[in-house]
Structure 1
Amino acid sequence: MGVQQETAGTGAAMLRRRILPTELGPCTVHIQEGTGGPHAVSGTADVYLHGAAGSWTSFRELLHPAAAHDRVLIDLPGWGESTQGARVAHLSIEAMARAVAGTLTSLGYRRWNLVGHSMGGFLALHIAAAWPGRTASVTAISATTFGVSEAAGKPLRSLFRFPTFLGMLLAMRAAAALGPSGSALVRAIGSTAVMRPLLSPFFAEPASISAGVLRGLGEDARPAGFSAAARAAAHYDFGQWRGILCPVLAIRGDTDVFTPPSDLLRLAEVIRRVQVVTLPRCGHFANIERPEHVQRLLEDLLYP
């Protein structure tokens, strides 16, 4: 497997790029070496899992300063730099979790702190339940859990509660049905001024979001992957999360259209060690709108 150096973000955070095989296809990871030395010393990594409309670049603002542990940023098969050869038709929460755990094991990590945004938060919680002995903590940023799962399974019943999600799901399914041309159309729209009003529901202060960030979100859209992830979430058994042993930090923005307050209340009923935080003046992308606040919460959890 090839390894190449590249720079992430605006600082000097050097990342090593690796591509590893999984049952869902090749998985591209970017690794920022921790200040504590090679990961073999502790065998622990801080692992970042993106959402169904994202990639590893969603976490650029959280890469500075470097952490004690290695940071591993994963493009799940079907997203970001992991689209070539991806078997999206076989995508499920369980298969994605096996791909993540297998990738981390191949890289030599024995334990991990999981940081997941949106779908990545959902996935992180499943991994914590499936591998409780190897998961040290979970930070779920606007995890799309109970509400979105119910909306994906029973859209008509949830139309008034989750209109933004259902509108996006309908658009992604239509684009996915067009194949490569549908994906190209979505990316083309993402490079235009239309993207700002389209994405405004996801931010508390959309006017403050740079055109570059909006363009990046458009480029990261993967209609087939989004549609497959919604199907997987619709049939998930949340009772599995009662087996989560590690501490969980659940974060949402106060204007989040995908993660309502009721989702955090239900998490507290299912998971024993959970802390819930609602960030003011923040939407669905706290890692973009409030990175400094998210970084402080992460440091308090991972390095108390």
Structure 2
Amino acid sequence: MSVQQKSAPTLRRHVVPTELGRCTVRVQQGAPGRWGVSGTPEVYLHGAAGSRTTFQALLSGAPTSGEPANDRVLIDLPGWGESTNGARLERFSLVAMARAVTGVLKALGYQRWNLVGHSMGGFLALHMAAAWPEQTASVAAISATTFSVSDACRAPLPGLYRFPAFTGMLLAMRTMAALGPAGTALVRTVSATPLMGPLMSPFFADPAAIPPVEIRELGYDARPASFSAAARAAAHYDFGQWLGIRCPVLAIRGDSDVFTPESDLARLAVIVPHARLATIPRCGHFAHIEQPDHVQRLLGELWSW
């Protein structure tokens, strides 16, 4: 009996100019069609402490990881990953970021999309669904940092008592951002040491089960100035816009998620009553890293609605 090895997926790299700076994108071709025009793509939007690489575990374990039904689009949002040089953070807002993402997708030839967003990326995906209801086919928001994060960004000192995990990280990132490039260098230096494990442990239900390389990559991808810009944007967001969301919405959180409390999903269900809510057991803020198979099953159910 022979075992056929799956080849690594081919990802084409694109660099697209946006109002927030040049945006680097990777596209994996789906089974039908040609590059950039294969059905309705899956678009992956990372969080404020990550990059497109945070979705590697999720996609490598997908049943169709070798040849997905539709294109997969992985974006390093302006200010993160390979999209940091020349990023115009002074112009950052959720509205501007959403325009940048839709501009990238249209430049690649897409007119409609399924959005999968983690943390800030989930927040961004929900905004896009409200602002572009005809183009957004579905939203999967994985541990979207929304209402509680917005409250903490608006009032950090009370947030230290009510929402300590996020607010502590926010204040640390603001401090590092004030140091400029030296702050980013310090974060990256710490990410390469054993100290990074304990610092990242609140993100996970079982930190010991997370490969050290994953922890290092999360630390390396931290961008203090970009994180601070995202927090400023979240502080004054009008959640009433989400009343216009019409597409299927799946909102996921881990049962040990310290950044996305259960109350955030309950508030989302009030604004978007057709949203489907799911809490994954034995899981923290990075469900797509800790429980990728479970997340894949939920995504499959969403896309079959």
TM-score band by shorter chain is over 0.9
Match of 2:42 in 1: 46
1:171 partner amino acid: A
> Aligned partners of 1:155, 1:83: CA distance in 2, in Å?
26
**TM-score normalized with structure 2 length:** 0.94
- What percent identity do the matched residue pairs reach? 67
Counterpart of 1:99, as a letter, is A
Offset of 1:78 from its aligned partner? 0.4
Residue of structure 1 aligned with 2:28, choices 12, 26, 32: 32
What's 1:161 paired with? 162
Q: Is the 8 A contact 2:30 2:38 kept in 1?
A: no
Residue 19 of structure 1 aligns with which residue?
A: 15
Please name the residue that 1:80 is paired with: 81
Q: Which residues in structure 2 correspond to 1:1-304 (within 5 Å)?
A: 12-38=8-34, 42-63=38-59, 64=62, 65=65, 66-303=67-304
What amino acid does structure 2 have at the position aligned with 1:123?
Answer: L
The C-alpha deviation readout for 1:221-274, integer Å capped at 9, x for no partner, is: 000000000010000000000000101000000000000000000110001320
- The one-letter amino acid of 2:187's match is V
Corresponding residue SS for 1:81 = helix
Report the alpha carbon displacement of residue 156 of structure 1 after superposing the two structures with TM. 2.1
Q: Distance in 2 between matches of 1:136 and 1:144?
A: 21
Query: 1:90 offset after TM fit, Å?
Result: 1.1
Q: CA offset at residue 41 of structure 1? A: 5.3
* TM-score, normalization by structure 1: 0.94
What is the RMSD computed on CA atoms of the aligned residues?
1.3
Query: SS state of the match for residue 139, structure 2?
Result: strand
CA offsets per residue over residues 259-293 of structure 1, 9 Å max, x none? 00000001100013200000000000001000010
Divergent runs of 4+, >4 A: 39-43
